[in-house]
């Protein structure tokens, strides 16, 4: 059996002095031909990243590959490693730039992401996803996730809430299942959720990820850590209603392991305008987190099982509601198909209809169009129903598992022969306990 | 705290061919499958092509006494067809749907409508973390001209990525399913070499079944024998793969397959043969197990893996060129349709403005042509959207492969003995690696 010739671990880690890691996250608003001053803002973003020399930069809404390649060219001296995640029709928009070597990458595209007919929202065409890059940081294995969830267009009547909950669930499952071998975990991105929204609570409680904003002692940025503010030149004030000043929807979340303890020393955000520049970097504010890594056990306690169960129950209720709504939509689609088919038959029955050729042709075309649309919508909604049911099943499994933990904990001293997790902590969940 | 006594585990895998209204004797066969699973002392049953949820619920009811835990993976339009029945509690489940799975207009093949995926369940058996994966890849309809090869290679790539990245904490990994690939096909080699999974057919101490472990044979009355003639009457496309870890040694004690007709039954369980593998888990002292295999490819196989990934990358590039060409054709056709429509409208507008026009206006042709143009525009638009997604998925996979290749090269440098091997020099000298 061959022994690997491994490079020595970085001196700082060996002598127990903490290592520093600077992480940057920004939703770049790079919708070519639609977002304002796109090209100039990418120039500015490139200059910023080049100047600030972050270890890792996580970008969202880099929709055009040309913009990614522009940044890659500009940043290659300082950030020789990068990855651009491609999915969907337009692309996931997710990009990572890193000083440290990227060893591997994996993409998980969310199963639900809006509707193709909601053209003015357009989320469906972007293959929203979570991207994972495994980065070698000072000899440690860092699992870095970048993501962008479905936008919230109306908080009062959020028709995309079930989609965002499913995305949050898939995100937390993906992070949990792929971060077992990680020394440290970082998640950055635009979650399109407020800090105490259900999806956020679900994500944090089940992964053990910690919000840099709440953890840090040194914060310099917008009030309350807002990342979408009224003072930003590009923001439409009516989009923020009822939140006058701003909202916090972009995050950098972190977690250590039994090998590495992570702490957010400071967090800063941009404040809407950039010195000496005519406009900001984006309609979102940029986040910069200064993290310290210490070679010791990260022994922060996970949220108690009972609280986690509550969050999962809440999430399950939302998914069930989404399921009912989607089933109703699918029924509408099948009724549309039936009506169109019926009308088509009627129109072409000469004994019943004495329309002129033009009218027959016109009605025939309309019916065929309706039939086709009905069929496509039926296909779409059936797929959505399957995803919602799968998510509900997975949540149920999780609930049962938590319930077992709760009931297992109450029975003291009993040895369970089947090795239930709380008595015999097993590999993949060790770090969660 | 793991138990010191070895643990036996019996795993079953079968492609059930449960296409209601299309596959023969569907209901009766599910009844037979239910009986078989109830009678045999199995721990885990991994089923594919359980397309209809009613059939899953039927099996769940029938098997509830013996297999109290089950999961049915739902995705796509028809479903993933993947189901797991287990004696041991399923603690968690996760699904990864493949980015590519055929074409919606290939209705006679129908793969696109099934949301093919890899499903994962987490079990705790005797204190060991057992990660069980079940999957079903895109079918191969014509080996000589396999238009789905890039899709299957992407699926194999995503399968190995998913397994590697989600089984870091596993003591034991088991993968069962219909890979629709022969043992030495590119995708199978990629999967085995990169994950370090072992083939139960190659490793089994005892084998009883079809010759050469075939799982799709001409003796089965449900199969089309013509396609199997060039392969000696059968193909091996269903597998149970496994691996242990640093703390657990896993060996395959025996493997058996059904052999077509079932004694005492009017027909077989399916058009595929069923696999049953018996494993022995032996906990070892920490670190004495196959720790290297735990992390995937063993060092000696690294050069071979680099070649395999390069080969896979080539296939993906070929698929990418095809897909880009198809997208271009769709765009061109769409533009032509638009131009024709505009032209037609312009021609139609002439009589409107012409004074004293006596010629009869060809309404029928006008409307028919208009409808045709519109239909062409709509279908090319949808095709353009579809091909764009295909292009993105292929590009994404190619990027991941390129990244993987550079990582593998770095790993090879850590093993000087492997580096000095002659065959490695050849692969490093090859053109492809220069691009990295």
Looking up residue A235, the CATH number of its domain turns out to be: 3.60.10.10
In the structure, what pLDDT confidence band is assigned to residue A432 with cuts at 50, 70 and 90?
very low
- Cα A9 to Cα A15, A258, B117, B306: the distances in Å are 10, 17, 39, 27
Which of A295, A314, A339 marks a domain boundary?
A: A295
Q: Is residue A376 located within the same domain as residue A266? A: no
Q: Is residue A104 located within the same domain as residue A232? A: yes
In the stretch 211-270 of chain B, residues with CB closer than 8 A to chain A read none
Per DSSP, which regions of B137-209 are E strands? Answer: 172-178, 198-199, 206-208
> Is residue A419 in a domain?
no
Which of A426, A430, A432, A433 would best serve as a mutation to test chain B binding (most B beta carbons within 10 A)? A426
Which of B53, B70, B92 would best serve as a mutation to test chain A binding (most A beta carbons within 10 A)? B92
Is the separation of the CB atoms in B139 and B181 below 8 Å?
no
* CB spacing of B74 vs A390 below 8 angstroms: yes
| Residue B331, burial from CB neighbour count under 10 angstroms (0-12, 13-18, 19+) | middle
Q: Is residue A283 located within the same domain as residue A392? A: no
When CB atoms are compared, the residue of A91, A127, A386 closest to B74 is A386
* CB spacing of B92 vs A394 below 8 angstroms: yes
Per the structure, the count of domains in chain A is 2
Residue pLDDT, tens place only, A99-133: 999 999 999 999 999 998 888 888 888 889 999 99
| A360 in contact with chain B, both atoms CB, cutoff 8 A | no
Model pLDDT, residue B115: 87
Q: Is the peptide bond before A242 cis (omega within 30 degrees of 0)?
A: yes
Is the separation of the CB atoms in B75 and A387 below 8 Å?
yes
Per CB-CB distance under 8 Å, the chain A contacts of B396 are: 85-87, 107
Dist CA B277 CA B9 (whole Å): 8
In the stretch 118-137 of chain A, residues with CB closer than 8 A to chain B read 125, 127, 132
In the stretch 377-396 of chain A, residues with CB closer than 8 A to chain B read 379, 382-383, 386-387, 389-390, 393-394
* CB spacing of B75 vs A390 below 8 angstroms: yes
The DSSP H or E segment spanning B255 is: strand B248-257
More confident residue, A85 or B422: A85
Q: Is residue A148 located within the same domain as residue A269? A: yes
* CB spacing of A383 vs B407 below 8 angstroms: no
* CB spacing of A401 vs B418 below 8 angstroms: no
Residue pLDDT, tens place only, A134-155: 999 999 999 999 999 999 888 8
Q: Is residue A370 located within the same domain as residue A340? A: yes
When CB atoms are compared, the residue of A106, A111, A393 closest to B165 is A106
Which of A266, A295, A324 marks a domain boundary?
A: A295
Model pLDDT, residue B426: 55
Per DSSP, which regions of B74-193 are E strands? Answer: 82-86, 90-97, 117-125, 128-136, 172-178
Q: Is residue A205 located within the same domain as residue A262? A: yes
Inform me whether the pLDDT recorded for A428 exceeds 70.
Answer: no
Which tokens in the block code for residue B406?
């550079």
> Is residue A289 in a domain?
yes
| A184 in contact with chain B, both atoms CB, cutoff 8 A | no
pLDDT per residue of chain B (436 residues) written in tens, 0 to 9:
445 789 999 999 999 999 988 899 999 999 999 999 999 999 999 999 999 999 999 999 999 999 999 999 999 999 999 999 999 999 999 999 999 999 988 888 888 888 899 999 999 999 999 999 999 999 988 888 888 999 999 999 999 999 999 999 899 999 999 999 999 999 999 999 999 999 999 999 999 999 999 999 999 999 988 878 888 889 999 999 999 998 899 999 999 999 999 989 999 999 999 999 999 999 887 655 555 666 677 788 899 999 999 999 999 999 999 999 999 999 999 999 999 989 888 887 777 666 555 666 677 777 788 888 888 999 999 999 999 999 999 999 999 999 999 999 988 888 877 666 645 455 555 444 444 3
* CB spacing of A173 vs B94 below 8 angstroms: yes
Inform me whether the pLDDT recorded for A63 exceeds 90.
Answer: yes
Per CB-CB distance under 8 Å, the chain A contacts of B129 are: 426-428
Place of tokens 């807002």: A226
Least confident window among A18-27, A395-404, B168-177, B412-421: B412-421
Average pLDDT over chain A, rounded to an integer: 87
Is the separation of the CB atoms in A274 and A280 below 8 Å?
yes
| B327 in contact with chain A, both atoms CB, cutoff 8 A | no
Per CB-CB distance under 8 Å, the chain B contacts of A106 are: 161-162, 165, 400
Model pLDDT, residue A427: 37
Catalytic residue among A148, A150, A284, A384: A284
Q: Is residue A267 located within the same domain as residue A318? A: no
* CB spacing of A397 vs B403 below 8 angstroms: no
Q: What is the 3-state secondary structure (H, E, C) of chain A?
A: CCCCCCCCCCHHHHCCCCEEEEEEEEECCCCCCCCCCHHHHHHHHHHHHHHHCCCEEEEECCCCHHHHHHHHHHHCCCCCEEEEECCECCCCCEEEEECCCEEEEEEEECCCCCCCCCCCCCHHHECCEEEEEEEEECCEEEEEEEEECCCCCCCCCCCCHHHHHHHHHHHHHHHHHHCCCCCEEEEEEECCCCCCCHHHHHHHHHHCCEEHHHHCCEEECCHHHCCEECCCCCCCHHHHCCCCCEECCEEEEEECCCCCEEEEEEEEECCCCCCCCCCCCCCCCCEEEEEEEECCCCCCCCCCHHHHHHHHHHHHHHHHHHHHHHHHHHHHHHHHHHHHHHHHHHHCCCCCCCCCHHHHHHHHHHHHHHHHHHHHHHHHHHHHHHHHHHHHHHHHHHHHHHHHHHHHHHCCCCCCCCCCCCCCCCHHHHHHC
Q: Is residue A243 located within the same domain as residue A317? A: no
- Those residues whose C-beta lies under 8 Å from the C-beta of residue B28, and which sit 6 or more positions away, are B266, B267
Model pLDDT, residue A1: 43
Q: Is residue A262 located within the same domain as residue A320? A: no
Model pLDDT, residue A17: 66
| A419 in contact with chain B, both atoms CB, cutoff 8 A | yes
* CB spacing of B414 vs A181 below 8 angstroms: no
| B208 in contact with chain A, both atoms CB, cutoff 8 A | no
Average pLDDT over every residue of A171-190:
96
| Residue A429, burial from CB neighbour count under 10 angstroms (0-12, 13-18, 19+) | buried
Q: Is residue A281 located within the same domain as residue A331? A: no
> Is residue A217 in a domain?
yes
Model pLDDT, residue A56: 98
- Any bridge partners for residue A27, and if so which? A60
Model pLDDT, residue B358: 62
Q: For residue A401, give the chain B residue with the closest CA.
A: B91
> Is residue A240 in a domain?
yes
When CB atoms are compared, the residue of A181, A419, A427 closest to B126 is A419
Domain that holds residue A334: 305-411
Model pLDDT, residue B145: 86
Q: Is residue A276 located within the same domain as residue A318? A: no
Which tokens in the block code for residue B139?
């079918």
> Is residue A242 in a domain?
yes
| B292 in contact with chain A, both atoms CB, cutoff 8 A | yes
Model pLDDT, residue B134: 98
> Is residue A132 in a domain?
yes
Per CB-CB distance under 8 Å, the chain A contacts of B88 are: 418
Inform me whether the pLDDT recorded for A433 exceeds 50.
Answer: no
Per DSSP, which regions of B258-351 are E strands? Answer: 275-283
Residue pLDDT, tens place only, A246-260: 999 999 999 999 999
In the stretch 121-160 of chain B, residues with CB closer than 8 A to chain A read 122, 124-129, 131
Least confident window among A200-209, A406-415, B84-93, B412-421: A406-415
Inform me whether the pLDDT recorded for A355 exceeds 80.
Answer: no
Share of chain A above pLDDT 90, in %: 68
Residue pLDDT, tens place only, A214-247: 999 999 999 999 999 999 989 888 778 888 889 9
Residues of B belonging to the active site: 272
> Is residue A426 in a domain?
no
Instruction: For residue A150, indicate whether it is catalytic.
Output: no
Q: Is residue A345 located within the same domain as residue A263? A: no
> Is residue A86 in a domain?
yes
Per CB-CB distance under 8 Å, the chain B contacts of A4 are: 299, 411, 414-415
């Amino acid at each position: 059996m061959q022994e690997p010739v491994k490079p020595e671990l970085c001196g700082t880690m060996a002598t127990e002095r903490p290592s520093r890691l600077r992480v940057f996250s920004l939703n770049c608003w790079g919708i070519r031909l639609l977002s304002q001053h796109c090209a100039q803002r990418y120039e500015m973003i490139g200059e910023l990243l080049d100047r600030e020399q972050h270890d890792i930069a996580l970008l969202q809404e880099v929709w055009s590959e040309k913009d990614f390649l522009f940044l890659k060219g500009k940043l290659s001296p300082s950030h020789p490693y990068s990855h651009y995640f491609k999915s969907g029709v337009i692309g996931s928009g997710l990009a990572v730039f890193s000083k440290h070597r990227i060893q591997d990458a994996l993409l998980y595209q969310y199963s639900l992401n809006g509707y193709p007919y909601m053209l003015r929202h357009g989320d469906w065409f972007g293959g929203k996803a979570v991207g994972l890059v495994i980065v070698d940081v000072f000899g440690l294995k860092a699992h870095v996730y970048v993501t962008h969830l479905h936008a919230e267009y109306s908080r009062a009547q959020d028709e995309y809430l079930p989609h965002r909950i499913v995305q949050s669930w898939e995100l937390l499952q993906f992070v949990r299942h792929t971060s077992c071998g990680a020394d440290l975990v970082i998640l950055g991105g635009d979650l399109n959720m407020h800090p105490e929204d259900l999806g956020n609570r679900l994500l944090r409680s089940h992964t053990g990820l910690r919000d840099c904003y709440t953890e840090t002692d040194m914060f310099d940025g917008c009030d309350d850590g807002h990342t979408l503010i009224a003072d930003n030149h590009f923001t439409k004030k009516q989009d923020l209603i009822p939140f006058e000043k701003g909202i916090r929807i972009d995050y950098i979340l972190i977690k250590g392991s039994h090998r590495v303890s992570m702490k957010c020393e400071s967090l800063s955000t941009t404040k809407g305008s950039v010195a000496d520049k005519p406009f900001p970097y984006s309609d979102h504010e940029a986040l910069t987190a200064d993290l310290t890594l210490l070679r010791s056990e990260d022994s922060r306690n996970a949220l108690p099982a009972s609280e986690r169960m509550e969050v999962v129950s809440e999430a399950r209720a939302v998914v069930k509601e989404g399921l009912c709504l989607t089933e109703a939509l699918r029924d509408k689609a099948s009724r549309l198909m039936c009506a169109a088919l019926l009308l088509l038959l009627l129109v072409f029955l000469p004994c019943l209809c004495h329309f002129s050729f033009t009218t027959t042709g016109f009605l025939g075309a309309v019916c065929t169009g309706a039939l086709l649309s009905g069929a496509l919508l039926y296909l779409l909604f059936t797929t959505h129903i399957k995803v919602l049911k799968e998510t509900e099943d997975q949540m149920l499994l999780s609930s049962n598992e938590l319930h077992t933990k709760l009931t297992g904990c109450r029975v003291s001293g009993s040895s369970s022969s089947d090795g239930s997790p709380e008595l015999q902590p097993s590999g993949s969940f060790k770090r969660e306990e | 705290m793991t138990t010191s006594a070895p643990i036996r585990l019996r795993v079953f895998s079968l492609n059930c061919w449960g296409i209601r209204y299309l596959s023969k004797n569907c209901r009766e066969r599910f009844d037979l499958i239910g009986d078989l699973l109830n009678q045999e002392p199995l721990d885990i049953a991994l089923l594919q092509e359980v397309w209809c949820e009613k059939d899953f619920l039927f099996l769940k009811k029938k098997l509830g006494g013996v297999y109290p835990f089950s999961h049915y993976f739902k995705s796509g339009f028809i479903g993933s067809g993947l189901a797991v029945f287990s004696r041991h509690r399923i603690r968690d489940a996760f699904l990864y749907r493949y980015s590519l799975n055929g074409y919606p207009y290939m209705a006679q093949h129908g793969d696109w409508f099934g949301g093919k995926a890899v499903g994962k369940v987490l079990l705790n058996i005797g204190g060991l973390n057992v990660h069980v994966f079940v999957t079903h890849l895109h079918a191969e309809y014509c080996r000589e001209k396999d238009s789905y090869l890039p899709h299957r290679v992407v699926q194999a790539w995503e399968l190995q990525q998913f397994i590697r990245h989600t089984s870091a904490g596993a003591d034991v990994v088991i993968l069962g399913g219909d890979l629709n690939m022969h043992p030495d096909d590119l995708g199978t080699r990629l999967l085995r070499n990169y994950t370090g999974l072992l083939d139960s057919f190659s490793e089994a101490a005892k084998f009883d079944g079809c010759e050469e472990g075939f799982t799709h044979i001409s003796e089965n009355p449900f199969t089309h024998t013509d396609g199997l003639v060039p392969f000696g009457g059968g193909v091996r496309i269903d597998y149970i793969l496994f691996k242990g870890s640093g703390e657990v040694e896993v060996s395959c004690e025996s493997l058996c397959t059904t052999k077509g007709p079932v004694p005492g039954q009017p027909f077989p369980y399916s058009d595929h043969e069923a696999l049953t593998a018996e494993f022995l888990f032996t906990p070892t002292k920490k670190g004495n197990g196959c720790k290297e295999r735990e992390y995937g490819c063993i060092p000696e196989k690294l050069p071979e893996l680099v070649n395999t990934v390069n080969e896979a990358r080539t296939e993906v590039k070929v698929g990418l060129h095809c897909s880009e060409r198809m997208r271009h054709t769709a765009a061109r056709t769409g533009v032509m349709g638009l131009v024709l429509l505009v032209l037609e409208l312009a021609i139609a507008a002439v009589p409107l403005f012409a004074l004293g026009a006596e010629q009869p206006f060809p309404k029928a042709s006008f409307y028919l042509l208009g409808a045709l143009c519109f239909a062409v525009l709509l279908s090319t638009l949808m095709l353009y959207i579809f091909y764009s997604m295909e292009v993105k998925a292929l590009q994404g996979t190619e990027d991941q492969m390129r990244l993987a290749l550079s990582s593998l090269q770095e790993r090879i440098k850590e093993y000087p003995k492997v580096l000095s091997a002659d065959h490695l020099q050849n692969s490093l000298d090859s053109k492809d690696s220069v691009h990295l």
